[in-house]
A and B are shown apart, each in its own frame.
Chain A
């Protein structure tokens, strides 16, 4: 492009101002990209149950209230149920409270039928099933704490009055769950005095279309019992779990919008100053034959480039930072498998171009509409 040099030189005509503006945009877009990535992370977790053909039965009173094992027998007999399994949230930590991560007691033998999306080496799975105090650990979690298969670890219990003492018998790979630990349900039952109670039953259903009807059927079945239930699809269950954190999505979206609005105002001030400084030059360009549309295009291109460079520095900076820094470790397990997705990068880049267009639109339009004689009058 013949005008590339003119655009580039004008972009950096005041180097300090250009660099500071880009840095400001970079910081804001780093922040926005991070917030969007956290939302993506939550969204992924919330959607992790989609398509799994599983429904989750919990107490209608609260997730903390346990249900009797006898419920499972009745649920398993319902038509359309493939299999059921018990899962209990333990809520223990490793050594220090800051080393918190997701840990569960599970029906180990059901990991091939109910939780068949967990990929486990058959030998390790057999070792796990053979050990009442065995543990299966996500590979990312093994890396986080530097554990190896065969290591003995002790977790510190918070919800239940026991400290699980475990031997790691194997690892698993799961598309979403990269930070959990499972140990046998028998060990949990022994620890709580063989009460034969558990927090949730996970039900594998033959036909996903039946999930809603089965959920209603299960809840109706226990409606008048001492332990009424509330049944969700797995996706709904994960979303309910996330909703306990409050309306994070609304909060993050509001904060991101405010940050973008602020950066538009700041960029608009910078661009107005830049355009005002060049009134005479713009008049000269128009005098020698640059049409209004060409002047507008040149100025808008310059302003959009400014914001795109700033935006790219911020969101690609975040992308590479999170690629090299283990955010699971930094956030003590809160953000697992964290990174800036291509979709988020694209949204940020489009937004940064939008910031340039909105912030620079008026100054560029005013400059391009300038009458030559008015622009020249200042110095001629």
Chain B
């Protein structure tokens, strides 16, 4: 498989007042097209930082990150914003829906940055909500939805632009077992049926088991690479 994401000797150092805190120390890894990769590790190991770098919402201190042949580590902020709108779908632990917008409007948000007509946007939103099984809840506001439903709306928002890459940061971290299982089923389906490349940060070994590969990070270094561990 060709590599969609190429991470080459990436370092990340945070500055905290006068101190420099190294978070990633020369991580090199490829994420092939269609992969479902789980990033695991203890708190502070650098997994969320690595995810943020892959998603283009943070910049590496050193090294190179390419996604789909484009070296995003050299992009300006404006270029990154534009690139993210077209190529990355985000799924967060706390869902992060906009509370003043209903499900339909939340899913429509990324499409407002495109040139699609209102009619085309509506078709895309309905399709995305249909995939996550919430077509009948499109007019509900986040406060009127359960945690599992909120996360499914967030997933619909992540896939509505048909992005190259889905990044998920602890997508089941705030859900009960049943809703976590449904969310993982959905991600598994997006990867298998819709061929979406997914990078997921998780603490949960059960969640990691649904991925095709698991990378373990410790103190900013890659310590283990478990391949093709996915199960239906």
Contact = CB atoms under 8 A, between A and B. Distances in A.
A195 to B, nearest CB: 79
A286 B55 CA distance: 12
Q: Is the interface of A mostly helix, strand, loop or mixed?
A: helix
Nearest to B101: A9
**B interface, by DSSP: helix, strand, loop or mixed?**
helix
Contacts of B77: 291-292
Contacts, number: 78
A288 interface: yes
Contacts of A371: 58
B48 interface: yes
B156 to A, nearest CB: 13
A292 B78 CA distance: 8
> Taking each of A9, A281, A373, A380, which has the highest tally of chain B beta carbons within 10 Å of its own beta carbon?
A380
A2 interface: yes
A289 B146 CA distance: 27
Interface size range of chain B in the complex: 20 to 34
Contact of A285 (B48, B52, B109): B109
Interface residues of A, number: 25
Nearest to A286: B81
Contacts of B99: 13, 281
Interface stretch (B65-73, B86-94, B222-230): B86-94
Given A281-B98, A287-B90, A380-B92, A3 B112 contact: yes
A281 B52 contact: no
29 contacts: A5-B101, A6-B105, A10-B100, A280-B96, A284-B90, A287-B55, A287-B57, A287-B90, A288-B90, A288-B113, A288-B157, A289-B81, A289-B82, A289-B113, A290-B81, A290-B113, A291-B81, A292-B77, A292-B81, A293-B78, A372-B52, A372-B57, A376-B92, A376-B96, A379-B92, A379-B93, A379-B94, A380-B48, A380-B169
Interface of A: 2-3, 5-6, 9-10, 13, 280-281, 284-293, 371-373, 376, 379-380
